[in-house]
Amino acid sequence: MWYYFIYFVVWFQCIEQNIRQNFEAIIACEPEKAQEASHRHLAFIKEILLDISREHTRRERSLRRIQQYQNLI
């Protein structure tokens, strides 16, 4: 379970970097760069949510298999 902490730290750093890039582009009055940064940020968040969903599905499948095995015994 400790590896979840590492993922969290990496995710947080990436999110922080994305937000910083977006903020800097807005402050610099560069709408194209701000839009690109926003799209990168949203794509990253979408990927995180997909990863979480896949992990949840994998765990549910694993628990069902354990339950099926226990029912055989």
pLDDT in tens, 5-58: 767 778 788 889 988 999 999 999 999 999 998 998 899 889 888 988 998 899
Which pLDDT does position 32 carry in this prediction?
93
pLDDT of 2 > 60? The answer is no
Q: Kindly report whether the global pTM for this prediction surpasses the value 0.75.
A: no
Which pLDDT does position 3 carry in this prediction?
62
Which pLDDT does position 1 carry in this prediction?
57
Which pLDDT does position 61 carry in this prediction?
93
User: Which distant-in-sequence residues (6+ apart) come within 8 Å of 22 by Cβ?
Assistant: 34, 37, 38, 41
Spatial contact of 14 and 44, defined as CB atoms under 8 Å apart = yes
